[in-house]
């Protein structure tokens, strides 16, 4: 169940230079709930911008949570900016509210994440500093991003994004890890969808169906990627790692099947953290070692090529 639990749980510019002097970094406050980091290539006149959206759980702008530190989104942003593409990444609302000790953090809905992404897109579309604005969403961020992208993005990138509603994704994950338990999960999701709440007495499912989580999960379940993605009349790139144990290649195939004009890429030896993996070698590394492992160069190159077209 380890992968399942991981799956669930006025602007004042500050400019500094990276060690290689290839881009500047600026802290931006987009809204009450969106604080992030903007990287802009040095000497780039009106570069294209990619807004990077994090995956599930209380994930910060760097792709880290209390449970794990990978620096995935930070490394991805730096890699793209080094190739002449500006990037903006921000802490998820849940992280922002936890930092602010906001007691309403338990009342966050999936729609709140969509609102934050849409607000961020609107903020940068109104800017005169960028020629185009793209959205790239990782994991849960893929679904959030494809919904927000309908509000005027110039392109959309799905990275390890699911092709099914979240209840079906979780049921499939449980079935692979705990055969038989998936039927109980399916019954709980069915009850949640039809009645608006559910009670699960199984200890391995109880944490997923707490009173606080159920409204968020119910809201999330309403969005189906395969009905949303075809609505995008903009360039789309679908990327998945062949060694991703959380979001399998079959999910990417579902997305591609409903958006056949999209660019489609499967990357050898890439896991859900967007890093190289061989025989689960990433799990054997310490947190510090893992955070320093680079994002797959092929991922950065493919996104850069897609955006520069």
Note whether 176 and 273 are same-domain residues.
Answer: no
Answer whether residue 8 is part of any domain. no
Residue 16 above 80 pLDDT? no
In eight-state DSSP terms, residue 33 is S
pLDDT for the residue 21:
62
Residue 299 has which token pair? Answer: 């991922």
Residue 218 has which token pair? Answer: 């119910």
Share of the chain residues as helix, strand and coil, in percent rounded to the nearest 5: 45, 15, 40
Answer whether residue 64 is part of any domain. yes
- Name the nearest CA neighbour of 218 among 197, 236, 202: 197
Range of the domain at 149: 13-165+224-308
Count the residues in the chain: 309
Coil, helix or strand for 57? coil
Helical spans, DSSP H, in 209-262: 213-221, 225-228, 249-258
Note whether 150 and 128 are same-domain residues.
Answer: yes
pLDDT for the residue 144:
98
Residue 4 above 50 pLDDT? no
Quickly count helices (H) and strands (E) in the chain: 13, 9
Query: Span 109-125, mean pLDDT?
Result: 98
Answer whether residue 1 is part of any domain. no
Query: Span 168-195, mean pLDDT?
Result: 93
Residue 181 has which token pair? Answer: 């338990």
CA–CA separation, 171 and 73 (whole Å): 27
Answer whether residue 5 is part of any domain. no
In the chain, % of residues over pLDDT 70 = 91
Note whether 161 and 184 are same-domain residues.
Answer: no
The 10s digit of each residue's pLDDT in 141-150 is 999 999 999 9
Note whether 181 and 249 are same-domain residues.
Answer: no
pLDDT for the residue 66:
82
Whose tokens are 């092929």? That residue is 298
Give the DSSP per-residue string, 64-123: --SS----HHHHHHHHHHHTT-EEEEE--HHHHHHHTT-GGGGG--HHHHHHHHHHHHHH
Note whether 199 and 284 are same-domain residues.
Answer: no
The 10s digit of each residue's pLDDT in 70-99 is 999 999 999 999 999 999 999 999 998 888
Note whether 158 and 95 are same-domain residues.
Answer: yes
Answer whether residue 85 is part of any domain. yes
The total number of structural domains in the chain stands at 2
The 10s digit of each residue's pLDDT in 221-273 is 999 999 999 999 999 999 999 999 899 999 999 999 999 999 999 999 999 99
- Name the nearest CA neighbour of 245 among 206, 279, 198: 279
Q: Which CATH number characterizes residue 92's domain?
A: 3.40.50.1820
273 touches 282 (CB < 8 A)? yes
CA quadruple 131, 136, 141, 142: dihedral positive or negative?
positive
CA–CA separation, 303 and 76 (whole Å): 10
pLDDT for the residue 10:
28
Whole-prediction pTM: 0.90
Note whether 285 and 187 are same-domain residues.
Answer: no
246 touches 7 (CB < 8 A)? yes
pLDDT for the residue 11:
30
User: 60-91 burial, b if ≥16 CB within 10 A, otherwise e?
Assistant: bbbbbbeeeebbbbbbbbbbbbbbbbbbbbbb
């Amino acid at each position: 169940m380890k992968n399942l639990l991981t799956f669930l749980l006025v602007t004042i510019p500050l400019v500094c230079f990276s060690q290689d002097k290839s881009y500047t970094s600026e802290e931006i406050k987009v809204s009450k709930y969106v604080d992030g980091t903007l990287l802009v290539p040095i000497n780039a006149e009106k570069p294209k911008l990619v807004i990077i959206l994090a995956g599930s759980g209380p994930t910060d702008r760097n792709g880290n949570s209390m449970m794990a530190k990978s620096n995935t989104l930070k490394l991805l942003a730096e890699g793209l900016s080094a190739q002449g593409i500006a990037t903006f990444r921000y802490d998820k609302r849940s992280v922002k509210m936890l930092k602010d000790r906001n007691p309403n953090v338990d009342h966050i809905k999936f729609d709140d994440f969509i609102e934050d992404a849409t607000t961020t897109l609107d903020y940068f579309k109104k800017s005169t500093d960028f020629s185009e604005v793209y959205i790239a969403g990782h994991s849960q961020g893929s679904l959030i991003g494809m919904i927000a992208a309908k509000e005027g993005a110039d392109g959309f990138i799905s990275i390890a994004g699911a092709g099914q509603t979240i209840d079906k994704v979780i049921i499939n994950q449980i079935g692979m890890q705990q055969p038989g338990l998936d039927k109980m999960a399916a019954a709980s999701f069915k009850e949640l969808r039809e009645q608006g709440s559910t009670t699960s007495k199984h200890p391995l499912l109880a944490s997923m169906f707490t009173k606080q989580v159920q409204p968020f999960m119910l809201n999330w379940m309403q969005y189906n990627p395969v009905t949303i993605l075809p609505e995008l009349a903009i360039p789309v790139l679908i990327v998945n790692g062949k060694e991703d144990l959380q979001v399998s290649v079959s999910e990417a195939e579902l997305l591609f099947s409903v958006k056949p004009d999209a660019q489609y890429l499967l990357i050898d030896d890439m896991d859900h953290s967007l890093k190289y993996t061989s025989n689960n070698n990433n799990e054997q590394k310490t947190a510090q070692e893992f955070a320093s492992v680079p994002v797959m160069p092929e991922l950065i190159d493919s996104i850069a090529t897609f955006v520069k077209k």
